[in-house]
Structure 1
Amino acid sequence: MTTTAVTATEASSPPVTFESLSPISGDVVGTHPVHTADDVASAVERARVEAEWWGALTFDERAKHLRTWKAVMTRRINQLAELMHAETGKPRGDALLEIALGIDHLAWASGNAGKHLKRRRVASGLLMANQAAHLEYRPLGVVGVIGPWNYPVFTPLGSISYALAAGNAVVFKPSEYTPGVGEWMARMFLEAVGRPVLSVVTGYGETGAALCRAGVDKLAFTGSTATGKRVMAACAESLTPVVIEAGGKDAVIIDDDADLAAAADATLWGACANAGQTCAGVERVYVHERVYDDFLAQLTAKARDLRAEDSEDTKIGPITMPAQLDVIRTHIDDALARGGRAVVGGADAVGERYVQPTVLVDVPEDSLAVTEETFGPTVTVTKVASMAEAIERTNASRYALGSTVFAKKNAQEIAAQLRCGMTAINGVITFAAIPSLPFGGVGESGFGRIHGADGLREFTYAKATARQRFKPMMALTTFDRTEKADQQLVKIMSLLHGRGSTLPKR
C-alpha cells in the first residue's frame, strides 16, 4: 500500500519532496512530499467527509475499529521501532517503550470515550425542577495535529487517539524530522479501518501553517513555545481553537528525608533519557542542604558511567535536530562563564552529533541553563536551605509543565505548592504514562490538556439540552408573569439561598 492512500498527494505531476535523514549517519531514511497549502486544504476537505461517517458511529463501533488499529500496530511494533530509530536515532529499546506507552493510551481512549462523553442526565436544581437536563460531548469534526520529532509516536497519539475516540477525523502533520513514522501510523490505520479517517500531510513549517489555516475545527500542537505562539497567531485568523503543549524546564525537588539513591537514579534518567530531548524532562534540581553533598556524589557517580555514542547498546542516542547542538553548547558555556562548574561533562561534552551527560553546579539562577529550555542531556543541581526556597525557585520559571518531588514526610504538601500541570512524587515523568491523568502545562508551557477524560473532552463541544417534563408551578419566563409570582420567587430564593450569610440585613 502506498502513502498516497493516506496523504494529501493527488496531483498528476510529481510533488516537491524532501528527505528525512538519520541523525546517526546522515544517510537518507526516506523521501516525502512537501504538501502545499492547496494540498492541505484538500486533505481537510476529504477528512470532513470521513468525519461524517466516523462521527455517526457509536462509541462501541469506533472502539472496535480503534482496537483493530491498536492490534495491527502492536503486532508490528518492532517494525515501527526500527523506523523510529532510523529517523530519530533513539535506542531501539527506548523506541519500543515509547510505542508501548502510546498504544496503552490508545487502548484507554477507545475504551473510555463513551463513559466520559455519552449523553447523560444532570441535576436541574430546585428552581428548574420541571426540566429534564442532559449533557453530552459531541465531536468537533476535523482535528489538525502538529506533532514533534522527539517522541513521534507517543506524543501525537496523545492527541490523535483521543480525538479519534471522541468521533473526529484527524489530519496529522508530523515533524519534518520524522515524517516516515507519521505516514506509517496512518497506513496501519487505513489497513485496519479501511477508510482514511486519519490522514497525513508532510513538509516543513509552511505545511504546518497551512494546516492552521485550512479550516480544521481544532488544532493540537506540540513543540517549542516560540513556534506555539506562531501557531496560535495563525489559528487566530479564523478563531480556530488550539491546544498548545509547549516547552518545559521541569525541576526535581529533593527533601532531606528523601531516598537519595532513587532520587539520583530518577534524576539522571529524567535528564538524559532520549538524549534529554523531553519536554517534561529534568533540567533543574533543588536539593536540601543537609543531603546536597550525598545526593550530588551519587548522581555524579552514576552520570560518569553513562555515555552517548554510536553503538548498538548505547543508552543515549544522538541529538536529532542538529541546530539544538548550538543551543546546548551555549547554555553550558554561559553557565561556566558565570561561575558554574561542571562536575560531569562540560564544555567539551557537545560533539558533532552526540552530547555527553553534563551535571552543572553553582549555576546562577538567571543563567540560560536555568531559565531557558536546553533540550539536551544536561542538568543543574542547586543547594537550598529549605523546601520553601526550593518551591520558590521552581515556581520562578516562566515554564510550568511538570515537576518531581522526592520526599517522605512532606511530599504531598510540597507538590501541592508547585505551579505546574503535573507532579510526580518519588518517581519521574510517571504522570505521562497514566492514561487517565490529563497532561499539559500552564504559563509558557501552554494550555489545554491531552490524555484522560479532559483529553477526550478537549476534542469535543458540550451540548446541553433542557426538556420541560411538566408545566412549572410558577410562570416566570413569560410577559404574563404576575407580581404574586415575583413575591413567590423571592420567598423561594430566601429559603434556598438566604441562610448562612454573615452580611447584615439592609
Structure 2
Amino acid sequence: MTDTLQPAGTTRTFDSLDPATGDVVDTHPVTDKDGVDAAVARARTAAGWWSELSFDERADVLLTWRSVITRRIAQLADLVHRETGKPHGDAQLEIVLAVDHIAWAAKHARKVLGPRRVSAGLLMANQAASVEYHPLGVVGVIGPWNYPVFTPMGSIAYALAAGNTVVFKPSEYTPGVGRWLADSLREVVHGRDVLQVVTGLGETGNALCTAAIDKLAFTGSARTGKLVMAACAENLTPVLIEAGGKDSVIVDEDADLTKAAEAALWGGMSNAGQTCIGTERVYVHEKVFDDFMGEILSQARGLRAGADPDAKIGPITMPSQLAVIRSHLEDALAKGARVALGGPDAVGDRFVQPTILTHVPEDSTAITEETFGPTLAINPVTDMDEAVRRTNATEYGLAGAVFSRANGVAIARRIRSGMTSVNSVIAFAAVPSLPFGGVGQSGFGRIHGADGLKEFTYAKAITRQRFRPVMNLTSFARDAATDGKVAQLVTLLHGGKQTLR
C-alpha cells in the first residue's frame, strides 16, 4: 500500500497492492475530515428512512443483499484474494460465513429487539411494563484487512438489522472489498446512503472516530484500539473494541490426537496465521506430547506458503509484520526453544513458511505477544491444571480450544476468554447465535447473536398505568399511614429468610 500525494487542487489517493506480487490492485481516494463528516451527515438523513422501516421490511432488504452477495461470491472472493493474498477457497469461506450472519441478523432482529412485556412486580402491580430496543442512529465501523468481509460484517449486518445506518472505513490494505460491499447494498436500497464507505489511512479512521456518530465498532490491534478509544472520548462516543489474541489449544491425554493436530495446524497456519482467533500456543499433556508432535508434523508435511494454486497458505498481507514474526522466532530460540519445523529462515520477503517450535519458554515473545504469522509454539504440560494456568497467563482473553473426550467442557469453562470451542477450532465464529468478543487486552463488547444486535441499540423501558394504585407512592399527598403500609409490605416480601429453589 502506498500513499500518493497529488498536486494542489486534486484528490489525494493511495494504492491497494496485491501482497503476493506487489502489483497495484486499484487506486482509492483518501477521504479527509470534511468528506467523512459529509458521509455521516448523509447517513443521518438515510437513518430517518431506514429506522422507520419495520423489522420485516429491513429483513427483506438485508436478505436480498445476502442473495446478491451469494450470486456474486466468485467475484468478491477474487477481490479478497487479490487484496489479501489468501487462497480463493479461504476467501470464499469467509464470505459464506458472512452471508450466514447477514441472514441470522435479518431474521432474528424483531424477536431480539422488538417490544416485550416484563413483570412489574408486586409493588408496581398496577403498571404494565415493557422493554424494547431502539437503534442508536449512525454507527461507524473500522474494519481489519485479515478478514475484510467476515469480520466487519459482524458489526455492519447487526447494526443495519437493528435499524442503524453505517459509515464503514475498511483497512487501507483492503479498500476495494469495502467499496464492493457498499456498492452491492446501494443497488438493493436504490442509492440510499444506508451503508457508505470512506477510504484512507489512519487520519480517515481518526476523522470517523471524532465525527458525529453514535457508536464506533473497531477491529484491530490493542494499541490502535486505545487510540480509537481516546479519539472517541472527545465526543463521549461509545466504542466496541475487538482487539488481538494469543489463543491456545489445550490437548488432554484422552484427546483424539489426529483431530487435535489437524485443528491446531489449521488454526495456526490458515490465512498465514493472520487470524485474531487463530491458534498461536498449544499445550499438550506430557503423556501424549510425543505422539501429538509426530501427528502434527506428519500432517504439516507438504504444507507451504506461495502464490501458486497448489499453495495452501498465502503471503503476509502487512509487510511490517514480517519483522515481528522473525523477532518472535529468534527470541524464542535464544531462550532455549527447539525448532520442529521451519524457523527464522522460513521468513521470506513476502511469505512465511509454516514454523513449529517446541519447549518454548513462557517469557519469550512467541508466548507473550501476538505473532500473527504461520507459527505454533507447542509445549508439554504435566496436567490440565498447568495447561489452564499457562493459557490464562496472558493479558489477552479472546478465544481458544480444548481437545478432550471426557473433560472438554469443564476445562473450557476455566479458560478466561470470550469464546472456547471443544473438540474443534473456532467453531463459535460460524454459529450466528453466539456472541463474539473478548476480555482484557482483547477488547470488550460483542458482535454476533442477540448480544450483537443489542450492542447497536439502546434499551427503552416503558410503563403504562393499568389502574389506579392501591397506595400512591409518587405523591406529596402520601401520608404516614401509607408509609407504614409500605414498610409492612416490604417486610413481608423481603424481610424473611429465603431459600433458593
Q: State the TM-score, normalized to the length of structure 2.
A: 0.97
Secondary structure of 1:290 counterpart: helix
List alignment gaps of at least 5 residues for structure 2.
1-7
Matched, 1:443 2:440: yes
**In 2, distance between residues paired with 1:460 and 1:436?**
17
Within a 5 Å distance, the mapping from 1:218-367 to structure 2 comes to 218-367=215-364
TM-score (norm 1): 0.96
After TM superposition, list the pairs within 5 Å mapping 1:12-51 onto structure 2: 14-51=10-47
Partner residue, 1:408: 405
Separation (CA, whole Å) in 2 of partners of 1:192 and 1:52: 17
User: Where in structure 1 are there 5+ consecutive unaligned residues?
Assistant: 1-11
Write the letter of the residue equivalent to 1:62. R
Counterpart Cα distance in 2 of 1:444 and 1:80: 32
Picking from 50, 55, 59, the partner of 2:55 is 59
1:417-436 pair list within 5 angstroms = 417-436=414-433
Change (3 A) 1:65 1:501: closer
Q: CA deviation at 1:120?
A: 1.3
Match of 1:373 among 361, 370, 374: 370
CA contact (8 A) 1:370 1:380 kept: yes
Amino acid of the residue matched to residue 34 of structure 1? Answer: V
Q: Distance in 1 between matches of 2:455 and 2:344?
A: 43
CA distance in 2 between counterparts of 1:146 and 1:280 reads 18
1:45 and 1:78 mapped to 2: Cα distance? 34
* Residues 202-255 of structure 1: CA deviation (Å, up to 9, x unaligned): 000110000000111000000000000000000011100000000000011111
The answer to whether the 8 A contact 1:69-1:193 is kept is no
2:494 is the alignment partner of 1:497: yes
In 2: Cα distance, 1:432 partner to 1:465 partner = 35
Q: Which runs of 4+ in 1 moved over 2 A?
A: none
Q: Report how far residue 305 of structure 1 moved.
A: 2.2
Give the length in aligned residue pairs. 491
Residue in 2 that maps onto 1:4: none
Q: How far did residue 485 of structure 1 move?
A: 1.2
Give the 3-state SS of the residue equivalent to 1:400 in structure 2: coil
Deviation at 1:13, TM superposition (A): 5.6
1:14 positional shift: 3.8
**For 2:324 and 2:80, how far apart are their aligned partners in 1?**
24
Amino acid at match of 2:32: T
C-alpha separation in 2, matches of 1:294 and 1:321: 35
SS in 2 for 1:444: helix
2:109 pairs with 1:116: no
Q: Distance in 2 between matches of 1:39 and 1:310?
A: 37
Quote the Cα distance in structure 1 between the aligned partners of 2:86 and 2:413. Answer: 34
**Aligned counterparts of 2:495 and 2:406: Cα–Cα separation in 1:** 43
In the aligned structure 1, how far is the partner of 2:492 from the partner of 2:414?
39
Matched, 1:164 2:160: yes
Corresponding residue for residue 174 of structure 1: 170
Asked if 1:465 is matched to 2:462, the reply is yes
Paired residue type of 2:26: G
Matched residue, 2:137? 141
- Aligned amino acid, residue 473 of structure 1: V
Distance (Å, rounded) in 2 between the aligned partners of 1:469 and 1:253: 56
CA RMSD of aligned residues (A): 1.1
Answering whether residue 77 of structure 2 is matched by residue 87 of structure 1, we say no
Partner residue, 1:6: none
Structure 1: distance between partners of 2:411 and 2:162: 35
